[in-house]
Chain A
């Protein structure tokens, strides 16, 4: 960075407002797709693990291995197969949400008190009704805790996907590094942080609205 150059040049921000909002939209899209697809897959796998306890360890184990692969290495491995595409980015992003989501769905449902399940069965709920009306609502607080961590992790990881051309705000970070220019670098970094904080706050509000009984006592 040139000495005397200010950390942030607001005129650059102002002149790139359109592109910034475009990249924020892209960031949001990549994050939402990853978390939603991750949730769908995680619910499916968690239900299998709950019904067939023998598969519980292999399922969480596989999700654990996926989680330990360094993101850059994973993208490098995927690019020859799926190119510099949204698909490549999403395969990586979704993989990283699975461990926390599967684990929280399983432990949320297992955490439903046995007397509640017993009473529901004894009063004539079917197994399916118990899942949808009792277990899932009661597991919601724990599942939401997982969704929050998965979302924040994903927002951070999306910046890395800039390296395969799908970066959202990560694009500005790369640009800043390449140009040795602090304004886009900070815009990208601080933008991602702000995005994560806002998303987390929004999820907390949604969870509170959905689980009013957890805030009593």
Chain B
């Protein structure tokens, strides 16, 4: 990861009440700088409310939220929001502005000089894979769903914020485009080192994108852990059920072939066995081995033989704890 210029975000016993209803109840957790924290849970669990309290679109009833140690409630909301990227599901692109003008929104609010804005817009358009020459003057209505989401992300990143808030940004596009957008987003986030708080109801998305996953239910934080930990040791039945009965398989997709202690099998015995690379996920390795009906596979790094991976080894990784 590049040197992080991301912010640390800390929730301290944050509560939001609407009359007698408690939307968010004493939420406390910390997002380390430069990491992606995914808030996940069924609808009505308080995840979006929690997100919107960070940039004060919703004011907490009690508790505090600190960005790099500074309480957001002590800041002017407008100034605060200009320092925080914001991406939403329906994109919220301005239909009457071109792609370039949309991306330039926050830099313009901050009064950047024109030349700097234009350089930044071109840079971002290239980063998200849109040719500036061809696309700069297009309006949002002339873009595909995927392109619109990309512009939404670029717009949020334009003023180089240390923190981005993303509310189901990829939920409205089809699965193939979603997967591509997720991969691009991960690449961008790693490169820029931005801290991200990401809301989704999709546990697979949470596991794929999150460095930390916060599972919420009825306004409570049920578990806050790295995805592999969440899958291996769900805190209770609710989390176990929410991550799905296939959580063992899901965990395989987080582990790589290189991370397993390989069996020192004689290479001659592996004649005709499938060949795997150490960077492959165990889930993909399993798929390759099952489809070629092999009990073992040889792991090669380029021309170098590293050892063998057996179905039994994968099976051992599949076994995960039952909730305590």
- Contact surface of A with B, Cβ cutoff 8 Å: 113, 115-116, 118-126, 129, 134, 137-138, 211-213, 216-217
Interface string of B148-185 (1 = CB under 8 A from A): 00001001100000000100000000000000000000
Q: Are B88 and A124 in contact (CB under 8 A)?
A: no
Q: Are B90 and A122 in contact (CB under 8 A)?
A: no
Say yes or no: A123-B86 contact (C-beta < 8 A), given A213-B139, A216-B142, A217-B142. Answer: yes
Judge whether B141 is part of the interface by a CB distance below 8 angstroms. yes
- Of B92-100, B191-199, B206-214, the stretch lying at the interface with chain A is B92-100
Contacts of B106 in A (CB 8 A): 123-124
Closest Cβ neighbor of A212 among chain B residues: B139
Within 8 Å by CB of B90, from A115, A138, A216, lies: A115
Within 8 Å by CB of A123, from B95, B96, B97, B109, lies: B109
Contacts of B21 in A (CB 8 A): none
Q: Are B90 and A113 in contact (CB under 8 A)?
A: yes
Contacts of A134 in B (CB 8 A): 94, 96
Say yes or no: A115-B141 contact (C-beta < 8 A), given A122-B86, A123-B86, A123-B106. Answer: no
| Min CB gap B9→A, angstroms | 16
Within the assembled complex, what's the spacing in Å between the Cα atoms of A183 and B156?
A: 66
Supply 29 A–B pairs (Cβ within 8 Å), ascending by A: A113-B90, A113-B95, A115-B88, A115-B90, A115-B91, A115-B92, A116-B92, A116-B93, A119-B91, A119-B92, A119-B93, A120-B92, A120-B94, A122-B81, A122-B88, A123-B109, A123-B155, A123-B156, A124-B81, A125-B78, A126-B78, A138-B96, A212-B139, A213-B96, A213-B97, A213-B141, A216-B142, A217-B141, A217-B142
Within the assembled complex, what's the spacing in Å between the Cα atoms of A216 and B155?
A: 22
Within the assembled complex, what's the spacing in Å between the Cα atoms of A216 and B106?
A: 25
Judge whether B105 is part of the interface by a CB distance below 8 angstroms. yes
Closest Cβ neighbor of A138 among chain B residues: B96
Contacts of B93 in A (CB 8 A): 116, 119
| Min CB gap A141→B, angstroms | 10
- Contact surface of B with A, Cβ cutoff 8 Å: 55, 57, 78-82, 86, 88-97, 105-106, 109, 139, 141-142, 152, 155-156, 165
Summed over the interface, the residue pairs from A and B with CB atoms below 8 Å come to a total of 70
| Min CB gap B143→A, angstroms | 10
Closest Cβ neighbor of B83 among chain A residues: A124
Q: Are B55 and A122 in contact (CB under 8 A)?
A: yes
Contacts of B95 in A (CB 8 A): 113, 116, 138, 213
Decide if the interface of chain A is mainly helix, strand, loop or mixed: helix
| Min CB gap A119→B, angstroms | 3
Q: Are B57 and A121 in contact (CB under 8 A)?
A: yes
Q: Are B109 and A119 in contact (CB under 8 A)?
A: no
Within 8 Å by CB of A124, from B90, B96, B109, B141, lies: B109
Within the assembled complex, what's the spacing in Å between the Cα atoms of A25 and B92?
A: 46
| Min CB gap B142→A, angstroms | 5
Closest Cβ neighbor of B158 among chain A residues: A123
Contacts of B82 in A (CB 8 A): 123-124
Say yes or no: A118-B141 contact (C-beta < 8 A), given A124-B79, A125-B109. Answer: no
Q: Are B96 and A216 in contact (CB under 8 A)?
A: no
Say yes or no: A211-B96 contact (C-beta < 8 A), given A113-B90, A123-B106, A216-B141. Answer: yes
Within the assembled complex, what's the spacing in Å between the Cα atoms of A115 and B86?
A: 12
Contacts of A211 in B (CB 8 A): 96
Closest Cβ neighbor of B92 among chain A residues: A119
| Min CB gap A116→B, angstroms | 5
Contacts of A138 in B (CB 8 A): 94-96
Within 8 Å by CB of B96, from A119, A122, A129, A137, lies: A137
Q: Are A119 and B88 in contact (CB under 8 A)?
A: yes
Contacts of B94 in A (CB 8 A): 116, 119-120, 134, 138
Of the listed residues A115, A119, A138, the one surrounded by the most CB atoms of chain B closer than 10 A to its CB is: A119
Within the assembled complex, what's the spacing in Å between the Cα atoms of A74 and B261?
A: 94
